[in-house]
Amino acid sequence: MVKIVRIGGAGGFLGDSSVAAPQLLKGGRLDYMILDYLAEATMSSLGQLKAARPDQGYARDFTEWVWKDNLQELKAQGVKIVTNAGGLNPHACRARMEELAAAAGLSFKIAVVEGDDLMGRLDDLAARGLTEMFTDAAFPDPKRVFTANAYFGGRPIAEALAAGADMVITGRVVDSALALGPLMHEFDWTEADHDLLSAGSLAGHVIECGAQATGGLFTDWEDVSDWAHIGYPVIECQADGTFVVTKPPGTGGLVSPAAVAEQILYEVGDPQGYALPDVVCDFTQVKVEAVGEDRVRVSGAKGYPPSGAYKVCITFEDGYRFIGAMPVVGRDAVRKAERQAQAVLERLGEMLRDRNLPPLRDQRIELLGAETSYGAQARPEARAAREVVARVGAEHESAQALGLLAREFASPTTSMSVGSTGWFGGAPTITPVARVFSVLLPRVEVDAVVSLGAERREIRAAPPAALFDPGMVVRPVVPEPPSTEGELVLTPLIDLAWARSGDKGDAFNIGVIARRPEYLPWIRRGLRPDAVQAFFAHEFEGAKTPKVLCYELPGLQAINLHCIQALGGGQFSSLRLDPLAKGKAQQLLDMEIEIPAGLLGG
DSSP string, 258-313: HHHHHHHHTT-S-TT-EE-SS-EEE-TT-EEEEEETTEEEEE--EEE---SEEEEE
CA dist 185 → 29, 127, 225 (Å): 19, 38, 36
Whether residue 273 is predicted with pLDDT greater than 60 in this model: the reply is yes
Question: For the whole prediction, is pTM greater than 0.85?
Answer: yes
> Rounded to whole angstroms, how far apart are CA atoms 438 and 349?
34
**What does the DSSP 8-state code read for residue 476?**
P
pLDDT band at 601 (very low <50, low <70, confident <90, very high): low
Paired strand residues for 420 = 328
> Rounded to whole angstroms, how far apart are CA atoms 132 and 587?
30
Q: What is the mean pLDDT of residues 415-426?
A: 89
Judge whether 326 and 414 are in contact, CB under 8 Å: no
> Rounded to whole angstroms, how far apart are CA atoms 574 and 602?
44
Judge whether 182 and 157 are in contact, CB under 8 Å: yes
Q: What is the mean pLDDT of residues 28-33?
A: 94
Closest CA to 456 of 177, 253, 159: 159
* pLDDT for the residue 504: 87
Q: Which residues of 569-589 are buried (b: 16+ CB within 10 A; e: fewer)?
A: bbbbbbbbbbbbbeebbbbbb
Judge whether 179 and 209 are in contact, CB under 8 Å: no
* pLDDT for the residue 426: 76
Which residues 6+ apart lie within 8 Å of 295 measured at CB? 244, 245, 246, 255
Q: What is the mean pLDDT of residues 158-181?
A: 98
Q: What is the mean pLDDT of residues 326-338?
A: 97
CA pseudo-torsion sign 136, 142, 144, 148: positive
CA pseudo-torsion sign 13, 16, 18, 23: negative
In tens, the pLDDT along 562-589 reads 999 999 988 878 999 999 999 999 999 9
Judge whether 412 and 326 are in contact, CB under 8 Å: yes
Judge whether 44 and 147 are in contact, CB under 8 Å: yes
Q: What is the mean pLDDT of residues 20-46?
A: 95
Measured from the Cβ of residue 108, the count of other Cβ atoms closer than 10 Å reads 18
Q: What is the mean pLDDT of residues 177-192?
A: 98
Judge whether 567 and 539 are in contact, CB under 8 Å: yes
Which residues 6+ apart lie within 8 Å of 403 measured at CB? 430
Phi, psi of 60, rounded to the nearest 5 degrees: -70, -20
Q: What is the mean pLDDT of residues 299-311?
A: 97
Share of the chain above pLDDT 70, in %: 100
In tens, the pLDDT along 84-110 reads 999 999 999 999 999 999 999 999 999
pLDDT band at 122 (very low <50, low <70, confident <90, very high): very high
Judge whether 416 and 347 are in contact, CB under 8 Å: no
pLDDT band at 73 (very low <50, low <70, confident <90, very high): very high
* pLDDT for the residue 232: 98
Least confident of 352-356, 448-452, 481-485, 553-557: 481-485
In tens, the pLDDT along 193-247 reads 999 999 999 999 999 999 999 999 999 999 999 999 999 999 999 999 999 999 9
Which residues 6+ apart lie within 8 Å of 453 measured at CB? 109
* pLDDT for the residue 340: 97
* pLDDT for the residue 602: 57
Exposed, middle or buried by CB within 10 Å (0-12, 13-18, 19+), for 53? exposed
Whether residue 78 is predicted with pLDDT greater than 70 in this model: the reply is yes
Measured from the Cβ of residue 602, the count of other Cβ atoms closer than 10 Å reads 8
Paired strand residues for 448 = 459
In tens, the pLDDT along 334-350 reads 999 999 999 999 999 99
pLDDT higher for 70 or 600? 70
The number of angstroms, rounded, from the C-alpha of 176 to the middle of its chain's C-alpha atoms is 12
Measured from the Cβ of residue 128, the count of other Cβ atoms closer than 10 Å reads 10
* pLDDT for the residue 41: 87
Residue ranges with strand state E in 460-599: 488-492, 497-504, 507-514, 547-553, 558-564, 592-596
